[in-house]
Amino acid sequence: MSAQDEIWILGIHMTKFGKHPDKDLVDLGVEAIQGALADGGVTMADVGVLAAGNLRGGGGIGQQLQKQVGQTGIPVYNVANACATGATALRTAIMAVKAGEVDVGLAVGVEKLAGAGLLAGADRDEDSNVWEPSGRYGAVAEVDGRIGTATMPGVFAQIGMEYGHRYGGANFELFAKISEKNHFHSTLNPLAAYTKAMSADEIMNDVMIAYPNTRPMCSANCDGAAAAVVLNGAKLKTLSKQQQRRAVKVSASILTTDPWEEACQVLPNVNTLTRNAANQAYEQAGVGPEDLDLVELHDCFATAELVHYDNLMLCEEGGAADFFNSGVTWRDGRLPVNVSGGLQSKGHPIAATGIANIWEVCQHLRDEGKQRQIEGAKVGLAHVIGLGSACGVHILEKAA
């Protein structure tokens, strides 16, 4: 691969996740962009394309951010792709750089979600016991209230319980212990929305949302933003030795959607598109799961983390429960997972999450993880999934 074809993250930044009643979307997005530019030692004058991700702000966030950080006439792409929005924005900037249209691209994801509550599925007529086929989907019915639920805690509860029924070993206590791990990890992350350690017993005895997911096992709705500056290897070589040393190589950038399955026309399948994305990413990067030093995966619920051990092939098929019970995923284990605290503690401002997961991996590959640093980290994976469905997987490597 030539230097022109290589993709590097030059600068990256995430805001403090949590409640920001005094800041709007533009405030948070600008903070992330300015932080990423400063981190990379460049300005908006160096940037050739902007990809801006946001779900709930009404559209046009990229142009709104431009007015604050610099209207330089560059193309702006406004991106919305469920929980994979941030990763999709980054992928958009990467594609522009890889295509040779620009040397430097900028991606940002920003969301205001504090106090949003449950983001439920489609409404249905509660008074009707008979379903009449109508509209675009013909004979395809919404499942909410008929077979399970379309609300996210319930969907992922079903996904986790299905895994346990199929392979064994996954029970209420195990899911609580996964959450215990992530809440413990969060105590070392000052940018996390919540930094409180919780025992498995405390987690199991908290408010039940959708069995087996209690409140602490659910991702935390919050406000936040993250941004990244990417460039090609040829451009990087023209920059200072310090910039080159801190740059992080993007060895793989993959985005997938659901392949056709009869069942997935109604029921979401988070497993197949994640496994497909992981396979493609490992092949593109020329590494395997055994080469990873840390993983930030999309633990929107404790049940989701378990199934994604398997989907990302961190363990043998069906072996996720044993994999976790071995202690390998704690920060002092062989393959730490969600050292940031994960979505359950770090928080989940939807459009920012995909880039925030990458930010966490970058800190360790740069040896800038401070008190939570994974020593000797050279290769990391960041994963995010949004129902609908979209899955982003990025594999990142330390600069030589």
Domains and CATH numbers, the chain: 7-116+222-249 (3.40.47.10), 153-220+252-398 (3.40.47.10)
Decide: 35 and 9 in contact? Cβ < 8 Å. no
Decide: 364 and 382 in contact? Cβ < 8 Å. no
Residue 280: C-alpha distances to residues 198, 288, 294, 320 (Å): 36, 11, 18, 21
The residue count of the chain comes to 400
Which residue matches tokens 């006439």? Answer: 73
Give yes or no for residue 171 having a pLDDT over 90.
yes
Among 168-182, 205-219, 256-270, 321-335, the minimum mean pLDDT is found in: 256-270
Among 90-104, 114-128, 185-199, 305-319, the minimum mean pLDDT is found in: 114-128
Give yes or no for residue 260 having a pLDDT over 90.
no
Distance between CA 160 and CA 21 in Å, rounded? 34
Q: What is the pLDDT of residue 123?
A: 46
Give yes or no for residue 344 having a pLDDT over 60.
yes
Q: What is the pLDDT of residue 122?
A: 42
SS3 content of the chain, % helix, strand, coil (to 5): 40, 20, 45
Among 34-43, 97-106, 118-127, 171-180, the minimum mean pLDDT is found in: 118-127
Which stretches of the chain are assigned E, i.e. beta strand?
7-14, 49-53, 76-79, 104-111, 208-210, 213-214, 224-232, 248-256, 294-296, 379-386, 390-398
Q: What is the pLDDT of residue 116?
A: 75
Q: What is the mean pLDDT of residues 316-334?
A: 98
Residue 26: C-alpha distances to residues 22, 30, 152 (Å): 12, 6, 27
Q: What is the pLDDT of residue 57?
A: 86
Which residue matches tokens 């976790």? Answer: 324
Decide: 231 and 105 in contact? Cβ < 8 Å. yes
Handedness of CA 251, 224, 192, 185 (dihedral sign): negative
Q: What is the pLDDT of residue 146?
A: 54
Q: What's the pLDDT tens digit per position in 348-374? A: 999 999 999 999 999 999 999 999 999
14 bridge partner residues: 226
Q: Read off the pTM.
A: 0.93
Closest Cα partner for 203 from 118, 303, 315?
Answer: 303
Provide the pLDDT confidence category of residue 268 given band limits of 50, 70 and 90.
Answer: confident
Burial 74-111 (b: 16+ CB within 10 A, else e): bebbbbbbbbbbbbbbbbbbbbbbbeeebbbbbbbbbb
Q: What is the mean pLDDT of residues 57-83?
A: 95
State whether residue 387 is helix, strand or coil.
coil
Q: What's the pLDDT tens digit per position in 289-300? A: 999 999 999 999
- The CA-CA-CA angle for residues 152, 346, 30, to 5°, reads 100
232 bridge partner residues: 7
Q: Residue 78 carries which side chain, given as an amino acid letter? A: N
Give yes or no for residue 141 having a pLDDT over 60.
no
Q: What is the pLDDT of residue 368?
A: 98
Provide the pLDDT confidence category of residue 150 given band limits of 50, 70 and 90.
Answer: low
Largest CA distance in the chain: 68
Distance between CA 320 and CA 305 in Å, rounded? 9
Give yes or no for residue 382 having a pLDDT over 60.
yes
Give yes or no for residue 103 having a pLDDT over 50.
yes
Q: What is the pLDDT of residue 120?
A: 41
Decide: 228 and 11 in contact? Cβ < 8 Å. yes
H helical segments located in 222-341: 233-236, 241-246, 270-285, 302-311, 320-325
Burial 280-314 (b: 16+ CB within 10 A, else e): bbbeebebeeeebbbbbbbbbbbbbbbbbbbbbbb
Decide: 65 and 33 in contact? Cβ < 8 Å. yes
